[in-house]
A and B are shown apart, each in its own frame.
Chain A
């Protein structure tokens, strides 16, 4: 991979929103490119990193990056939860946003080559995992088995339906989808993600898992993965915290001795366990 551009630290770079898609209820995806060509070309990320996004006139928020480091359109997927994200949802194509970053450590990539990879996502937990999934699929031959287990409350709540369609058709990519309750046209599984994980025959040796989702789902999935013999230091997740600076100064995201914005947001479950706070 190319050497990373020094992240944009203080003054946001201006970017144009070129397309907006309704993803699921309250979640939209915003495709953007940087106005300055040199930034557009030099802006390199690792899967699992995040940016600080400015909605002009409203404020700034941290958001994880769902696009692949290579050959993927730049975009963010954002749930409307507060004042700033609500303002973002008001934007139209052509509007400007500000970007600082990319920040954070990101998922391992080189280190996990040759291994089996299990992605487990719940709801909008797929957002931070998408980047890594696409990236790994772009380098498919360099990995062992690649498995995705994704669940949501209902079929309406599944993120990235277009990507899912592609993934279902991708060879050597084992995908499983589940929703909480039966629906007429649903052909996938029914039940919680952890129940589906429990049912599946998953590799344990030479395997890493990436897990993202709401706390209840997260904890129950970890339990199942451990039962399957996957080590705690081979399970990765990303933490979301309130952030103001992204560069390890404001301390809003401090958990014990770690700062999620610079030491994270990707942690192994083994690390998360020692942090002593709720995920």
Chain B
């Protein structure tokens, strides 16, 4: 491990901006909220800010993106298809470990299954990832329950941990090693690992009681979800509170459902776009014609929680699909963020 002094942080960022577009947490001045955003001005990077309201998912898996463009001339019967690519290298600085875990889930899902998703791969190829240990948890967080924090274990190029007024830097890749050497960071002694462990342990112990309590319950809920032993009334209770806005999927660092549409443009070309989608929408499974295999709203909710927590789904991510960031709870117009659903299942088990 290495030491990064506060003044060296600027060098690090400067170095990165030479070859990458810089993304990181910044505060919106008026609302004072934290957004993981592209930073035109590196000074806006705020590594001390709480967990951003948005996960970095959109950088790899945009809300709306053109993947192909084609032009078909029906007169001459000529087709020209062009694959659109997005090759700007990007540096994501200050990733919370939950969000880094989210990226790893997306990697395993988009790249590690039977087929490689070429569109995702394009985005993923040239990323530089710097994670940032949460030295104190935020009120919504429960990453300790989902094995995704407060400190990152893998997947980063560099990992920062604030110790006093400097950062301990852990190197996770060759790219990271090169940067550390270029910056001439001082090696940290043997005490570094111990120091980091102390910071992380302190962080873990300061989690909210709900998160610590829920730890065991999440695995029990996972069990129930996998085996299907959850009463229909629980799903109905959850379904009644679903406003069908799709927000839980959109803010989830690991939700990756998408829609594909062909959009005709005025210049005669057609864009094939893909956009975020959510299994909570009725039209999501609707087939052309007149058949929807999944109808009531509780059924569709059921699908999402199954996807986040069941064993079989976890196999795809090699871990639970939930990374414990708590965002779904904050954006839900009802009261059915994942932690609450676990609570409802828990109530069913205990009969409270």
Contacts and interface: CB of A to CB of B under 8 A. Distances in A.
Contacts of B285: 241-242, 252-253
A96 interface: yes
Interface in B70-101: 70, 72, 74, 77, 79, 81, 83
A95 B74 contact: yes
Contacts, number: 117
Contact of B115 (A84, A249, A257): A249
B310 A94 contact: no
B117 interface: yes
Contacts of B173: none
B67 A277 contact: no
B146 to A, nearest CB: 20
A105 B81 CA distance: 28
B258 A57 contact: no
A135 B180 CA distance: 62
A3 interface: no
B306 interface: yes
B203 interface: no
A7 B288 CA distance: 25
B260 A250 contact: yes
A255 interface: yes
A256 B306 contact: yes
Interface stretch (A10-18, A145-153, A173-181): A10-18
Given A14-B79, A96-B72, A249-B117, A257 B312 contact: yes
Contacts of B306: 256
Nearest to B70: A56
A228 interface: no
A262 B279 contact: no
B74 A244 contact: no
A57 B270 contact: yes
B310 A257 contact: yes
B241 interface: no
A50 to B, nearest CB: 13
Interface string A208-242: 00000000000000000000000000000000111
Contact of B259 (A58, A83, A250, A257): A250
B287 A240 contact: yes
Given A96-B79, A244-B258, A249 B270 contact: no
A60 B256 contact: no
Contacts of B262: 54, 57-60
A14 B274 CA distance: 21
A98 interface: yes
A89 B159 CA distance: 56
What is the interface of chain A mostly: helix, strand, loop, or mixed?
loop
B294 A277 contact: yes
A247 interface: yes
Contact of A247 (B83, B115, B270, B313): B115
A82 interface: yes
**Chain A: interface size category:** 35 or more
Contact of A85 (B79, B258, B288): B288
B257 A250 contact: yes
A272 to B, nearest CB: 11
Given A9-B118, A59-B261, A245-B260, A250 B277 contact: yes
A274 to B, nearest CB: 10
B331 to A, nearest CB: 20
Nearest to A215: B291
A250 B293 contact: no
A79 B110 CA distance: 32
Chain B CB within 10 A, most for which of A7, A94, A96 = A96
Given A249-B110, A254-B279, A56 B288 contact: no
Interface in B294-312: 294, 303, 306-307, 310, 312
B164 interface: no
B284 interface: yes
A262 B258 contact: no
B293 A255 contact: yes
Nearest to B115: A247
Contacts of A242: 284-288
Contacts of B34: none
Contact of B81 (A14, A60, A83, A241): A14
A216 to B, nearest CB: 12
A244 B260 contact: yes
A59 B119 CA distance: 18
A270 B336 CA distance: 34
Contacts of B307: 251, 254
A172 B118 CA distance: 47
Contacts of B120: 249
Interface string A55-66: 011111100000
24 contacts: A9-B116, A11-B68, A54-B262, A56-B72, A57-B72, A79-B289, A81-B287, A81-B289, A83-B288, A85-B288, A95-B74, A96-B72, A240-B287, A247-B117, A248-B114, A250-B259, A250-B260, A251-B257, A252-B285, A254-B303, A254-B307, A256-B306, A262-B115, A276-B228
Interface of A: 7, 9-12, 14, 16, 54, 56-61, 79, 81-85, 94-96, 98, 240-242, 244-245, 247-257, 262, 276-279
The 10 closest A-B pairs by CB, nearest first: A82-B288, A56-B72, A247-B115, A81-B289, A257-B312, A81-B288, A244-B260, A59-B262, A251-B257, A278-B293
Given A84-B288, A95-B74, 18 more contacts: A10-B67, A11-B83, A60-B272, A82-B288, A82-B289, A85-B288, A94-B77, A242-B284, A244-B258, A245-B260, A247-B115, A249-B258, A250-B257, A251-B277, A252-B257, A257-B310, A257-B313, A277-B293
